[in-house]
Each structure stands twice: as structure tokens, then as C-alpha cells.
Amino acid sequence: MAARAQNFVCQSCGAAAARWAGRCEACGEWNTMVEEGALAPARSSRKGRVFVIEPLKGATHEAPRAASGIAEFDRVTGGGLVRGSVLLLGGDPGIGKSTLLLEVAAAFARARHRAVYISGEEAVAQVRLRAERLGLSEATVELAAETAVEDIVATLSHGAIPRLLVIDSIQTMWTQAVEAAPGTVTQVRGSAAELIRFAKRTGSAVILVGHVTKDGQIAGPRVVEHMVDAVLSFEGEGSQQFRILRAIKNRFGPTDEIGVFEMTGAGLREVANPSELFLSERDLGSPGTAVFAGIEGTRPLLVEIQALVAPTTLGTPRRAVVGWDASRLSMVLAVLEAHCGVRLSGHDVYLNVAGGLRIQEPAADVAAAAALVSSLTHAPLPADAVYFGEVSLSGAVRPVAQTAARLKEAQKLGFTRAVAPESARNESPDGVALKTVGALADLVADIARDGTAPLRRVGRPDG
């Protein structure tokens, strides 16, 4: 018998190599290569089995999706869980993944679907304790503390097929199909493959919980992300009560919707109007804050953008950004410098999106620029104004999508002014005074006029 080829697998990205190396060639991480068994035992003598090929056109008997009734969860999944689909839910430890999924399982049970919750991390008693705290002790969720995938699949293949199976977490599962030690990438991948097969075979929706590493990746295998139908991430600042559920990948739904929850003493509460939450602790009247009228998925969302611009003591000034794209900030700073006469090269710049939200829209450019200039010139922005618009490299303010929805949300929350691109001219609802800006320089001049610190114009001496 020939010796089996050595199989070294990177514990960070899942790449395999024949030889050990100090650094993974695929992802560049150090000390992550670990020897593991081969993924599947060789079965060279097996002949192919003949299977039936079906036409594309055909009757689908059952409702393909089941909603949980938890609106924020259903929104992110695209209207509920598709039969036979597999979701991966990632998030920091302690963020509330187990809490969320126990609530989702209970919601399914309430709708008379069979929901099974398998915990590989906690004992049944601990899960019961959590259910009690959530007021769900009466829910007909079926529980087990198990880690052997074959046992789980064998148990659930009898009787009614569950409509929802929660595996908390995939890192604790192990399968006999592979030889590697529990917890290794190969085991996680093997266990996930087994559970995905179960989902596809039976039509049960499966949610796998995945731990997240320090740098925010779902621990171990990125490969599992490619195997599943949807990857959701549950995020939040440890110190704050908001939790945001976001789809990173979704074969059956949108990836730009977010679900907003608040962690309370009795579980997660849905937040139907997140703008109110994100604006609840505003620092009125101080310079450096602007309210951005954004859109997350289909829903408008107002959020405060905070900037701090301060003279630097370093040779290279600092640029730090939380909740927004760092390269977007660099671009806005470059445009301010090149087209608006705002000199920032001697200043440290900090930008923060309040409430732990992460914004991805370029429409936040104008709000970020307004906050930056406000901080630099010590000119507080009007407390009743919202800002949005994309800034182009030429310094022009470009139109953005869904202007009407942004303005309407602003009106609903009592804002009376909006600074927006020219294209918004005819879309303003009653009660919101619109100020359109064609060029960022106009806005900068407007803000600086009220400031106590003069703008240091490039190429012009002060005073």
C-alpha cells in the first residue's frame, strides 16, 4: 500500500499543501499549517451510480420559504428560510448568536414547524436557562447537546423532518468521514459538508453558527462560506446594545438589507425604526457632527457621522476611521484639499459612525465632508439638517439613489433642512427646506462662514 500523501491544511484559510511551511502560501498567515488527514478515504473501486435527470420545468409542491415572523430576521434572509438551504451565522463570541437562533427556533416552533436546536457548546440545562430568560420555556423547540454529525443526521432522519435545524456551533462538530482532529479546518469542512447533504436531501433548513476570529473572519474555513447558501453576520459594539444582522452572501435574497436588534435583559428586541435608535444620543450643538440620510437595503436610515480634526504632533498625520471605508475618507480629504481649499495635511483626522453602524454607501461623502469641515472650523452644523450626496474627484456633488425616501425619513424624524445634490430639487417633502449643492466647495464655504476658526486656504496667506 502506498503511503498516503501528507496533507497540511492552513487553519486560517483552508488551503492545503503537500509540505509543511511556516507561512501559508495562499493567505500569508504564519504558523497556521497543521497536518490533517485526507478529506475522504479513497474508494478507487467504486463505480458511478446512475441517477435520474429531471427537466427544469416541474412542480414544486411545498412553499419554498418559511418566514420566522421575526421581521428583522426575515428581511435579511430575503423573506424567510428556503427549504433545504444552509446558512452560516458568524459573529464575535457573546454578541448574541445563540440568543438570536433560540428566538428564531422558537418562532418556527410557534408556527407549528418542527425546530431542532443542537448545541455543541452548552449543556441542555444551559440552553433551557437561556430560554427561561427569554420567556420561551414553553416553546416546543427540540433540544440536544451533541457534537457527532453522523449521530445528529441519523437521529433527525427518523420521523418528521425538521423545518429548521440549528447547529451551534460548526466548530464543535466532528464527523467520522475525515480523520482530522476535532476543531481543525478539515473537520469543520467535513462536518459542514455532511450537514449540507442532510439539508439538500431532506429539505430542512440548516443554520450553522460560526465563530469569528479577531480579524473578523468566520474562524477557520473560508471554504465553508463557499459551501453554504447564505452567510449572515451578527455585529455590534460590545459596549452598546444595538446588534446588526447583515447578509454577506445570499443565494436566495438581497445582501444589502440589515436587521437591527437591541439586546435587552430579556433577549433581543426588534428595532423597527433604527433611525430613532441611532440618533437617540446626539451631541447637539458641538462641531464635527453631521446627520447622514442613508439607505440600508430598502430602508432609509439616519445616522450621525462624527469627525475630529486636530493639529497633529506627528510627522505623518493620523487618519482613523470607524464604520466607514478608509479609502473613501482619503478621497474626501483629497477633494477637500484640492478643490475646496481646505488644508488638512497638518491635522490628524478621526471619523466615526455613531452607534457601531458600518456604512458602505458613497452617498455619505457629503455628510462626512460636512462633519470634517465643521470640526476643523469649530462651526457646529444646524441640528435639524441632514446631509447626503456622493462627491466626485472633481469636487462635484453627484446624485444618489432613493432621494425621496431619504428626505421622507428626515421629515418623519423632525428634520427641517436637507443638504443634497441638485437632482433632489423637486423631491423634497413639505416641511423640509432643501439646499442643493452642485460643488463641495459651496458647502465648505457655507459651513466655514459660521466658524470661529478660519479655513486655512491653500496658496493664500491667513488673514
Strand order in the sheet with 433-437: 319-322, 347-353, 299-311, 289-296, 385-387, 417-421, 433-437
DSSP state of 329: H
Shortest separation between residue 115's beta carbon and ligand TYD, angstroms: 17
String of contacts with Mg ion for each residue 76-115, x by CB under 5 A: ----------------------x-----------------
Give the burial class of 7: count Cβ atoms within 10 A of its Cβ; 0-12 exposed, 13-18 middle, 19 or more buried.
Answer: middle
343 binds, among Mg ion, ligand TYD, none (CB under 5 to 8 A by kind): none
> CA neighbours within 13 Å on the CB side: how many for 161?
12
Shortest separation between residue 174's beta carbon and ligand TYD, angstroms: 20
- Note whether 145 binds ligand TYD by CB under 6 A: no
Cell 477637500, residue located: 336
Return d(Cα 55, Cα 53) in angstroms, integer. Answer: 7
Question: Which among 171, 72, 86, 82 has a CA at the least distance from the CA of 120?
Answer: 171
Stretch that binds ligand TYD, among 78-86, 92-100, 176-184, 416-424 (CB under 6 A): 92-100
Return d(Cα 174, Cα 160) in angstroms, integer. Answer: 24
String of contacts with ligand TYD for each residue 223-262, x by CB under 6 A: ----------------------------------------
Of residues 24 and 131, the one with the C-beta less far from ligand TYD: 131
SS3 content of the chain, % helix, strand, coil (to 5): 25, 25, 45
Shortest separation between residue 11's beta carbon and Mg ion, angstroms: 21
In this structure, the number of other CB atoms found within 10 A of the CB of residue 142 comes to: 15
Q: Which of 14, 78, 80, 96 binds ligand TYD (CB under 6 A)?
A: 96
- Note whether 306 binds ligand TYD by CB under 6 A: no
Q: Which of 265, 311, 414, 459 binds ligand TYD (CB under 6 A)?
A: 265
* Helix segments in 3-148, DSSP class H: 71-77, 97-110, 124-133
Of residues 68 and 98, the one with the C-beta less far from Mg ion: 98
Q: Which of 98, 175, 204, 233 binds ligand TYD (CB under 6 A)?
A: 98
191 binds, among Mg ion, ligand TYD, none (CB under 5 to 8 A by kind): none
Judged by CB under 6 A, how many residues of this single chain contact ligand TYD? 15
Of residues 261 and 324, the one with the C-beta less far from ligand TYD: 261
- Note whether 352 binds Mg ion by CB under 5 A: no
Phi–psi pair at 175, nearest 5 degrees: -125, 150
3-state secondary structure of 392: coil
Given the rule CB under 6 A, which residues bind ligand TYD? 91, 93-99, 130, 133-134, 263, 265-267
